[in-house]
Structure 1
């Protein structure tokens, strides 16, 4: 396992993280505990969850796993959770207000069975709540010893940059990480979000690195998924829905990943994970595994380092299609500054 700083902090984490959205939903408690054991035994340290995962059950499963394992095992874990989305139907059971975040964090700490969580992330932006209120609340959590660091999740570039500058202007603790969706099928974050992360000195914890299974090779062109897969059970599920994601470019990317994997003698998942984990700004890539077999297979990506030619092939196949301006060739050239007599 490789280790990297957790964003702008001094805390070291594994370059592959374990996401636990499946715990209590697609993985029962026994399987979830086995997945945690396999991840930690392989040298994994960063475990990511959220209060809304299985309506709190994911956090409870992790809490019971911690109670059942010796301290030298659980002490190695860097524990991350999130709050923002509804945990009830009342008006103040969601958002980034001081009221909701305080209750959400206390509830998460209780379910996890800990006094402090290493990384607390706001799960998405909240247009209703002033950023000053949210950031002061997070700073208070740090000062109170309830969290060590905080991060952002699903923020756009301008939202992240504004949060960093507001925190700095008020002398508050700054966010150390951003958790965005990012993969060979979702590279639009490279237009504004990744530059904002790099400018702020933060680290990224990408989720959805296999595009909801598309990059693992489980789906085939002109064969609608069936059976015990996420899209087999629900073809219209979320951002990875069959009719939404099944574009010509997606199949081009899948074919390129498959070709590189066959040449290397590795799995498609290893190729996709290796490509992402070595992208600029990435601290740790979040694995979503339902079984021990899946997490063990994905952890093999640690040993795979793609060469420049392989990365270039993947880059070309997955480059997002964009208009001329502002992210296309005309917009990019407009922002260039050359010393060969060309226009600034």
Structure 2
């Protein structure tokens, strides 16, 4: 059993990210990846209403539309866990009560479903009183449009405040957090979010699990990333310490007969409070190593070696990889790895 926090959502130990749908993969490719994921036991798919508004000619919601068209041809909806997020669609930006309600209804329509299994606030909105947002999400649960609530990219302080308000208002509390966390971005997650998740019984589903592809094994130097879709993000990791993490992933993977991406995902799964990492695949071939990472169990020595290698990155670089709330509105979000 692999339950998300205190919910009854029992999921496969890897979540398929839908951020590539309509961005780096078309509808047919996306459908193939989705079908292959479910055929191998996958259950949870994660998307957002804003994916992929940053692409020229897109308006947002493209990922949900592709996921919806795939769902329409299946009869196993009850076996799947569909997660999406509010707050980043250009027409419903932010977390006001009005925006949250409109965003949820638009997402339901694009997905072609009656209920969203896990609905996240995509990122904090300090311009709106948090009580208003908490009530809005609670109303969605009470109306049956949402089963459970999650928070993505929220600081520990704001998560605590949301939990306090949920109790005071008598509305359902969040069951899951979706932070930015991976081998080359360990703080501030480990400093603040992880202890909070443990103490409050919250499920943790980290996004950017492969650091924009840096941990996938396809890059061994900065030159390899030139011209890549995510070159600007990946380039920041090509320090001696970052490359040492890659070397360790390759060393362990070579011994185990596994890809670096599989090892990186298995390391995340070894963290006690992590329910399942989120990772994306543009093609079925790319999906193979992700699925292997959902099943691979690292021994203590491998975990220790990766901990030591990644610790050498230092807190400055690791924290600098957490720029989820300062990005330009027309840029792909950090959780579009």
Classify the TM-score, shorter chain: 0.7 to 0.9
SS in 1 for 2:218: coil
- Residue 85 in 1 paired to residue 78 in 2? no
Contact residue 39 and residue 296 of structure 1 kept, 8 A: no
| Partner residue, 2:7 | 9
Whole-angstrom CA distance in 2 between matches of 1:14 and 1:164: 26
| Partner residue, 1:65 | 70
- Residue 302 in 1 paired to residue 301 in 2? no
Contact residue 161 and residue 200 of structure 1 kept, 8 A: no
| Partner residue, 1:321 | 314
Shift in alpha-carbon separation, 1:21–1:164, aligned structure 2, 3 A: same
Whole-angstrom CA distance in 1 between matches of 2:78 and 2:17: 18
Count of residue correspondences: 307
| CA-CA distance at 1:131 after TM superposition | 1.1
Contact residue 43 and residue 81 of structure 2 kept, 8 A: yes
Contact residue 214 and residue 234 of structure 2 kept, 8 A: no
Q: C-alpha offsets along residues 89-131 of structure 1, whole Å, 9 cap, x if unaligned?
A: xxxx311110100000000000001111111100001101111
Whole-angstrom CA distance in 2 between matches of 1:37 and 1:207: 21
| Partner residue, 1:184 | 183
| CA-CA distance at 1:222 after TM superposition | 5.1
| CA-CA distance at 1:16 after TM superposition | 0.4
| Partner residue, 2:329 | none
Contact residue 210 and residue 273 of structure 1 kept, 8 A: yes
Whole-angstrom CA distance in 2 between matches of 1:104 and 1:246: 38
Contact residue 7 and residue 177 of structure 1 kept, 8 A: yes
Whole-angstrom CA distance in 1 between matches of 2:226 and 2:238: 15
Alignment of 1:1-344 (within 5 A): 3-54=1-52, 55-69=60-74, 71=75, 73-88=76-91, 93-188=92-187, 189-221=189-221, 223-226=223-226, 229-231=228-230, 235-236=231-232, 240-242=233-235, 244-319=236-311, 321-322=314-315
Ranges in structure 2 where 5+ consecutive residues have no aligned partner? 53-59, 317-337
SS in 2 for 1:4: coil
Whole-angstrom CA distance in 2 between matches of 1:164 and 1:258: 41
What is the alpha-carbon root mean square deviation over aligned residues?
Answer: 1.4
| Partner residue, 1:334 | none
SS in 1 for 2:61: helix
Q: C-alpha offsets along residues 30-89 of structure 1, whole Å, 9 cap, x if unaligned?
A: 0000011001001100111110112111101111111112x1x3321111100112423x
Whole-angstrom CA distance in 2 between matches of 1:267 and 1:194: 27
Whole-angstrom CA distance in 2 between matches of 1:250 and 1:160: 30
| CA-CA distance at 1:322 after TM superposition | 4.3
Contact residue 225 and residue 234 of structure 2 kept, 8 A: no
Contact residue 222 and residue 238 of structure 2 kept, 8 A: no
Rg: which structure is higher?
1
Ranges in structure 1 where 5+ consecutive residues have no aligned partner? 324-344
